[in-house]
Amino acid sequence: MTIFTIPNESHLPLAPLVDLMQVAQAAAANLTFDIKYASTDNFTGQMVYPQARCFIMKEAAQALLNVAVDLKPHGYGLRIFDAYRPWYVTAYFWEHYPDSHLYLADPAEGSRHNRGCAVDLSLYDLKTGQEIEMPSAYDEFNEKSHLNYMGGTAAQNAMRDVLQNAMHAHRFSSHPHEWWHFDYENWHNYRVRDDEFEQLI
């Protein structure tokens, strides 16, 4: 068993986190939630989170509401898969899934998720409630998940671009290997944290 140490970033403040589910409900926003790591429907095949909760930096939460407003006239909403992730989960992924390191954050540095400044998401159809088809599934760790992958259908590639453009318009940046992953601006200004969800409620 490898012993990992959480990065010492005590000189940085903690990002102010909010419960995105509550924020979305209060705003009647077109955000739905499918917290993958609170189920077995993820790359580990195991239930990683004890409950389906979703926390994120306050400014990023407002930005997501704005993205949803932009998408509504086009018939789309946002489906959220993950946001704040405790550091111990990052360490667990890194130790137990070495073949997926290209797609995983090194716990020695921590991830943007650990700071509460990243979100994993996709689009859904407002009329049907069905998730929009992308070039790959969530957490499908291969070239199909890369932003430069052009092997999907024209419709899949186009919808990936719709998502990317909508998020970029509100200060999110992309991950080149994961079409679903977005970092909110200035994430590096906040420290890695390891709080359980229960500690944030």
Active site residues: 178
How many C-beta neighbours within 10 Å does residue 199 have?
9
Residue 145 token pair:
């998940």
| Residue 11 known to bind ligand | no
| Residue 125 known to bind ligand | no
Tell me how far apart the alpha carbons of residues 83 and 98 are, in angstroms, rounded to a whole number: 22
The closest of 62, 50, 37, 84 to 192, measured between CA atoms, is: 84
Contact 193, 12 (CB under 8 A): no
| Residue 183 known to bind ligand | no
- CA distance to 20, 24, 79, 108, 127, per residue, from 28 (Å): 12, 6, 14, 39, 16
CA–chain centroid gap for 122, Å, is: 9
E strand or H helix that includes residue 125: strand 118-125
Which residues belong to the annotated binding site?
A: 113, 120, 181
| Known binding positions for Zn(2+) | 113, 120, 181
